[in-house]
Amino acid sequence: MSGDTTGGRRVRADAQRSQDALRAAAKEVFATSGVHAPVREIAERAGVGLGTVYRHFPQRSDLITAVFRHEVDDCAASAQELAATHPPVEALALWLDRYVEFIATKLGLAAALHSGDPAFESLPGYFDKHLRPALGALLDAAVAAGEIRDDIDPGDLLPAVANLSLPAEGDPAHTRRMVALLIDGLRYRPRD
């Protein structure tokens, strides 16, 4: 037995592999076809049967929530990994690129997340609780290194990058150019 726990029970390794495959497949399907894509499409992409989908995720909202939380957790964890292996401003820039990837996935989930469904009420708080501190630590390190200005709030920067990540002009490189421009702006210090 290994993996996540559910209700205090450890999940078997094969069940964990199925859940992981379903989350990955759902992420891809949601990003391209939206959250209302047929569950059969997700099952086929994951290489499992429909019964396996419903055993692990009885409601579509359970799968959507699992994908969202997993993506938030991965994005938050990458901040520490990048901080440990790159200079502060480079780690910040790389993490913002990773956050842009997360936003692309979130766009596939947006219809569900903003549907008013009570199943998704906790997700904005989950997002804030995990991503704000991750970005805050990267900003603090870059400020301490003297690489960026000291008046940037993670609560302002997260939505700014999210807004820059909205699809524009059909050019996937557009977002990365805009985020790079934003990072250059973080380096600017007004004269006293």
In the chain, what are the domains? 1-58 (1.10.10), 65-192 (1.10.357.10)
Report how far residue 57's alpha carbon sits from residue 19's, in angstroms, rounded to the nearest whole number: 9
Q: What SS3 class is residue 148?
A: coil
State the DSSP code for 122. T
Helix (H), strand (E), coil (C) string for 83-118: HHHCCHHHHHHHHHHHHHHHHHHHHHHHHHHCCCCH
The proportion of the chain whose per-residue pLDDT surpasses 90, expressed as a percent, equals 58
pLDDT in tens, 29-49: 988 888 889 999 999 999 999
pLDDT for 33 equals 85
Higher pLDDT, residue 172 or 59 = 59
pLDDT in tens, 105-161: 776 677 777 788 899 999 989 999 999 999 999 999 999 999 999 999 999 999 999
